[in-house]
């Protein structure tokens, strides 16, 4: 929490300098290098968790592990802590503090075998109304913990269930605080024998077309390992989840809302600051490189 607010304070200082008419320029690329130096980017075939599934990273994308992902999500983007994060798939060559950044956040919920026999019977418009009411309750928790409230605007892409590939995906448009650009949450759920593998896409609404172009290739690039597939379900041995397809869509509406709008809100103003301020920000990132995973403080 402290690191995130130090970063936010630095950005606020940038705005102050700009407001005073100082035209000194700051090279955002240098700051991006400081962030990238902390992260470990991977390509090729990646085993997830204990090997229950794997993903072969598509061309043009890259992967960072759970530890690095939590640093990005919590310290840079201001999300609540989530120890279940397995990693993130991001556009290759794009820093997470860039306005062009977006990501698929991977998690696994060992909820059991999700029956999909209700998929054709769900009224998603009615479900959306219920979800908006849930947001009101979730906002009470966010506010109590010092986070801005958010508003569920509606479907950015209506839920669709691919029966053959056992993959469910949909997108929500969310307004985060007073930010001018709304946030997109594009969710993919892949059903397995003992639970659900989730890809939660975080980005601005302007990223929606790009995210959509990667949906099918990400699904095709991901597979449960032998013995963990949906077809491997054994009713004599395995638990059946209490949730159905409709429950997966409703879920926790505000999970991983993201804080990319910070960058979008400041835009080109970030480039304007005094050289000394850049040194403070750069030092902040250098200081975090050697820390162990346990040193990353949860956001309260």
Domain spans in the chain, listed from the N-terminal domain onward: 2-293
Write the pLDDT tens digit of every residue in 71-130: 888 888 877 788 889 999 999 988 888 888 889 999 999 999 999 988 888 899 998 998
Q: Which residue has the tokens 């290739």?
A: 217
Q: What is the spatial distance between Cα 134 and Cα 280, in angstroms, rounded to a whole number?
A: 41
pTM of the model: 0.71
**pLDDT, tens digit, 9 for 90 and up, residues 7-53:** 544 554 444 444 444 444 456 677 777 788 889 999 999 999 889 99
Contact (Cβ atoms closer than 8 angstroms) between residue 264 and residue 97 = no
CA distances, 139 to each of 136, 144, 150, 155 (Å):
5, 8, 7, 19
């Amino acid at each position: 929490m402290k690191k995130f607010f130090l970063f936010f304070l630095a950005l606020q200082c940038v705005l102050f300098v700009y407001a005073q008419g100082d035209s000194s320029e700051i090279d955002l690329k240098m700051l991006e290098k400081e962030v990238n130096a902390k992260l470990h980017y991977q390509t090729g075939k990646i085993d997830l968790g204990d090997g229950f599934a794997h993903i072969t990273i598509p061309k043009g994308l890259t992967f960072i592990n759970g530890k690095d992902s939590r640093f990005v999500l919590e310290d840079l983007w201001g999300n609540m802590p989530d120890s279940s994060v397995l990693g993130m798939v991001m556009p290759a060559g794009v820093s997470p503090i860039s306005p062009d950044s977006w990501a698929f956040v991977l998690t696994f919920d060992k909820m059991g075998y999700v029956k999909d026999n209700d998929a054709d019977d769900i009224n998603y418009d009615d479900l959306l109304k219920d979800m908006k009411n849930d947001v009101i309750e979730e906002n009470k928790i966010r506010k109590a913990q010092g986070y801005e409230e958010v508003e569920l605007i509606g479907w950015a892409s209506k839920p669709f269930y691919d029966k053959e590939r056992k993959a469910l995906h949909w997108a929500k448009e969310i307004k985060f605080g007073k930010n001018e650009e709304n946030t997109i949450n594009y969710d993919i759920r892949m059903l397995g024998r003992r639970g659900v593998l989730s890809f939660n896409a975080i980005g601005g609404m302007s990223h929606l077309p790009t995210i959509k172009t990667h949906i099918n290739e990400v699904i095709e690039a991901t597979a449960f390992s032998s013995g963990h597939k949906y077809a491997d379900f054994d009713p004599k041995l395995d638990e059946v989840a209490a949730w159905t397809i409709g429950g997966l869509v409703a879920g926790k509406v505000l999970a991983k809302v993201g804080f990319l709008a910070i960058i979008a809100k400041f835009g080109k103003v970030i480039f304007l600051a005094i050289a000394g301020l850049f040194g403070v920000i750069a030092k902040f990132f250098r200081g975090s490189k050697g820390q162990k995973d346990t040193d990353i403080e949860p956001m309260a």
